[in-house]
Amino acid sequence: MKNKALNELNKLNKTLDDIFSLIEPVHDDEFYKKPSSNEWSVSQIFNHLLEIEQNCLDYIEFKEQEGKEFTKESIKTKFRFFVYKIALLSPLRFKIPATLSHPDNTGDFQTFQSQFSDLRNSLYHFTERQKPHYFTKAGFKHPIVGRITLQKMFVFLNIHMKHHKRQILRTLIKIARSN
């Protein structure tokens, strides 16, 4: 089970690498430019992605410190995860949940690379130190889906990142057309 979670984390890293390859040639003025007043810049998208991943890590580390035993995923949660996964993979757009902050339009490309590298190392070390039974339990509470396993948390983060990769592409296309 640990290998499955690590495999999902590797997929998440691959998605991030793909986004970094896409963004690397982008000039700073394009990185911070918003296509319109109600749309995010690439910088804001990166800040949002960082916030989500950091929140996930903070939560699972907090729960680890609590030391409580988790239950297995319910059938209801598995179904909600499946539906949510399909929704995120669709071309639909979603508003940011009210529980999250509006992302800042700050941070440069190299800083984001460094922050994501540190965050992914922390996620990797967290995963590595877990005992085998941890991977069968629903230790992460997704705000919409409910309690899911660490592996599914990584699946969610990857789908979420792919969703925002499409947003980044749309943003860069709109900015290019406006120049």
User: pTM (2 decimals)?
Assistant: 0.89
**Is 2-178 assigned to CATH 3.40.50.300?**
no
Kindly state the helix (H) or strand (E) to which residue 114 belongs, with its residue range. Answer: helix 109-128
pLDDT of residue 24: 86
Least confident of 4-8, 30-34, 56-60, 103-107: 103-107
Burial 42-71, CB ≥16 within 10 A → b, else e: bbbbbbbbbebbeebbeebeeeeeeeeebe
Encoding tokens for residue 16? 């991030």
Instruction: Return the SS3 of 123.
Output: helix
pLDDT of residue 66: 85
pLDDT of residue 162: 94
Per residue in 134-177, pLDDT (tens digit) is 888 888 989 888 999 999 999 999 999 999 999 999 999 999 88
Q: Are 107 and 31 in contact (CB under 8 A)?
A: no
Annotated domain spans of the chain: 2-178
